[in-house]
Structure 1
């Protein structure tokens, strides 16, 4: 459907570059201004105090921002059907209330992977590379940029590669235009710390610490276990990563093949051989697929909340590594 929309525009210049979903994405960004300001303020305070932070404090800050990026995935225009889905309150303040809704939390494994990747260079320099497979524009994209900024500023990553869609997709999915627009709008904000964040992000892009990439595979119907065959160049690129973060529900569905798995099937098994590098899915549940749960966990959820798999109230942080015991 989204490809047909794009085709109609493409064949009718001068509308061929027009994003029919731009207005909704823009509105989502501006309606989340208060949350964005508080998040950028939190980030700048962290960076200011970073030299004095212990490893435990650094780890705690990382886990908070990982959860902010996780819950940012609630803001999804393809689900809200045009309803207000913006983030109003401070995302940091909301985290304790959301903790009990995380059904699987492998965050500590993500941290361990980043720490282990730091000394990968022969000179002892920190050469870790993180790839973020983006989902939604608007507030969620800002949470991803804030997390990426922290990773670089804390020395946990030397390079961040963002992957978005090559055409407007699933209403609010990030395109290159959305990515660049968001950084420019953050720079231009009439708020000290929001603007400072945007200036830093622009600098990261200019010096190559950050880079944006798109590939036609992300808008094809294939599940990710087919990537090595159907998009060997992309799979090869991802193999160079120390950690891949997959954002959102659609990416989760493609990771697991959108199959009707038993809920207790291990995440590793549901990936069906897709293991280019250590990877983590950050996802709020919006579709009828979920693996990696403990025995009885799904049944308990179903009795408490029949719509637990689709109402975006619950979330998972699920990790898998090629080196891990299967």
Structure 2
């Protein structure tokens, strides 16, 4: 919150609203003029009057960011409407020339090597030295996978010709390899079209919006074949940006709306990026690590893959004995990752 206040010259009413919100963590209904107050009335009815620290964590996270957006006037008519309060933080994390060049250079590798490198990049895109690791460290990155269905992932994409849905996580350095992976799928015919799903409003500080995708594509510059192809793919419709209010709701994927479920059901494969999407997929619960990933995701309307750096206690689908061999902090250190597929 301090970073948001430092990045924008908000007047006293906004600063006071943010201060009041921070001082009182009680869950209350949204103001009656909020465009989505009826939805939040329904979602919040069991929790009104309780502290945010006493309600389910996934719900509280979403509520926090929705209240922050109201305090900054993001949805309401006025001078701050549509202004991303996290925009400066995202801009600071845009990739630099070295990262762009490293991912561009992958096109010179054999296709199988490109595929392996791009999965690694999609998992570890937040690492500052990603470009060097792609060139020299794929073996080390592979060793940090505690669940690895990479081979199954590419088998699902081998036939090509269909639609692949990619549900994005973060903007900045983490969105860059997602875009390069999408270009690879289209360029090699592993997908006839790709839907890139992004948030409809700023959430969780770094989550990707349409504006972030466009900023990233412009970052490639005129000399990049990848950036040019993706820009033209958007024009032609082989790459489509998709969003839905569900992505800013305090809900898990079993509660997704029918339209979103239909898109996933029609896709050859849906790829979910990041820890938040993983928690929404399997359920934000303290599962035993060996709990069946396929069983927890059986409801999902089509084949689904999760690419995730482990940043929370929610884990499922590990082989017996794997968790016992890992360091105590493995679930929250950000040093381990998972590629899981349910066909």
TM bucket (normalised to shorter chain) is: 0.7 to 0.9
Which residue pairs with 1:284 in the alignment? Answer: 309
Q: Which structure 2 residues correspond to residues 211-230 of structure 1 after superposition, within 5 A?
A: 211-227=240-256
Runs of 4+ residues deviating >2 angstroms: 57-61, 85-91
Give, in angstroms, the shift of residue 12 of structure 1: 5.7
1:22 aligns with 2:87: yes
Q: Secondary structure at the match of 2:242?
A: strand
Contact 2:307–2:338 under 8 Å retained in 1: yes
Larger radius of gyration: 2
Give, in angstroms, the shift of residue 88 of structure 1: 5.7
Which residue pairs with 1:3 in the alignment? Answer: 66
> Greater relative contact order (Cα 8 A, min sep 6): structure 1 or 2?
1
Contact 1:187–1:196 under 8 Å retained in 2: no
Give, in angstroms, the shift of residue 196 of structure 1: 2.6
Which residue pairs with 2:265 in the alignment? Answer: 239
User: For this pair of structures, how many residues does the alignment match?
Assistant: 277
Which residue pairs with 2:26 in the alignment? Answer: none
Q: Secondary structure at the match of 1:16?
A: coil
CA distance in 2, matches of 1:235, 1:24: 32
Equivalent in 25, 29, 42 of residue 106 of structure 2: 42
1:259 aligns with 2:266: no
Which residue pairs with 1:114 in the alignment? Answer: 157
Contact 2:121–2:130 under 8 Å retained in 1: no
Which residue pairs with 2:168 in the alignment? Answer: 134
Give, in angstroms, the shift of residue 33 of structure 1: 3.3
In structure 2, runs of 5+ residues without a counterpart are: 1-63
Which residue pairs with 2:337 in the alignment? Answer: 315
Contact 1:34–1:88 under 8 Å retained in 2: no
**How far does the alpha carbon of each residue in 1:142-173 deviate from its partner, in whole angstroms, 9 at most, with x for none?**
10010111111111111010000000011100
Equivalent in 55, 61, 64 of residue 117 of structure 2: 64
Which residue pairs with 1:268 in the alignment? Answer: 294
In structure 1, runs of 5+ residues without a counterpart are: 47-56, 76-84, 119-126, 322-326
Q: TM-score, normalised by structure 2?
A: 0.77
CA distance in 2, matches of 1:181, 1:68: 19
CA distance in 2, matches of 1:205, 1:225: 29
Q: Which structure 2 residues correspond to residues 81-120 of structure 1 after superposition, within 5 A?
A: 86-87=128-129, 89-93=131-135, 94-116=137-159, 118=160
Equivalent in 142, 146, 168 of residue 202 of structure 2: 168
Contact 1:39–1:90 under 8 Å retained in 2: no
